Structure 1
């Protein structure tokens, strides 16, 4: 394998395999970093909503689907807390991104429909990150990755 035509470096089989292994480790570490950091940031939005649902007084929350503010808030909590936790540990990751993407679409284009772009920017960034996670998958350092590894052993 020629690394650089100008210098005509040839890599040995073991060197090439080592580079491939390092590349794989870094890609999986990057997937873990994205899952954990996006998840931690999303939890800061989801966890406070729990006290809004179970707090005193009437629930005030956007109701984009006509289900009532309590159910809409509960759905947002499920997406922002439970689905986020699933993504962070890497369990059913691709499936768990769907409610989060839908919740962030609702936040950007319904709850903040009349707001300036700067207000919509955060949910839009979350949409991009969760779409990327859905495309990339959870990686090796995840519950799904461990399950996949166990299947390949037998």
Structure 2
């Protein structure tokens, strides 16, 4: 496989995975500012409000960072933790079919962590710029 094709593949995986994750994170923003008490899993004993804010940070902020390819590997870490928490805490009593979605996201974010952002990203542009000097 040519390097250009590999970088297009990295771009596709980044855009598709983080774009789909945003569809889970953005609705959580409404839950944060909605009427009534916040009802959200509290796996670390920090309170449902802080747990929701951490999930929003991972699913929205970190997904946007991955989408544009900025600090990509670092941005996968909160998402990996969030996906494992979703699969094994929030959905611990659910059948595997329900756990499967966060586990699939986990696998994709591990792949992004391993591969990096690629050439078509802010990280790639910064690395290219650095190598010119």
> If the length of structure 1 is used for normalisation, what is the TM-score?
0.85
* 2:75 is aligned with 1:96: yes
The number of residue pairs the alignment matches comes to 133
| Structure 1: distance between partners of 2:3 and 2:52 | 40
Q: 2:110 aligns with which of 113, 124, 131?
A: 131
Report 1 or 2 for greater relative contact order, CA contacts < 8 Å, sequence distance ≥ 6: 2
- Following TM superposition, the consecutive aligned residue runs of length 4 or more in structure 1 with deviations greater than 6 angstroms are none
Q: List aligned pairs for 1:98-117, cutoff 5 A.
A: 98-117=77-96
Aligned to 1:47: 26
Unaligned segments of structure 2, at least 5 residues: none
Larger radius of gyration: 1
- The offset of 1:136, in angstroms, is 0.3
Unaligned segments of structure 1, at least 5 residues: 1-21
Q: List aligned pairs for 1:29-68, cutoff 5 A.
A: 29-68=8-47
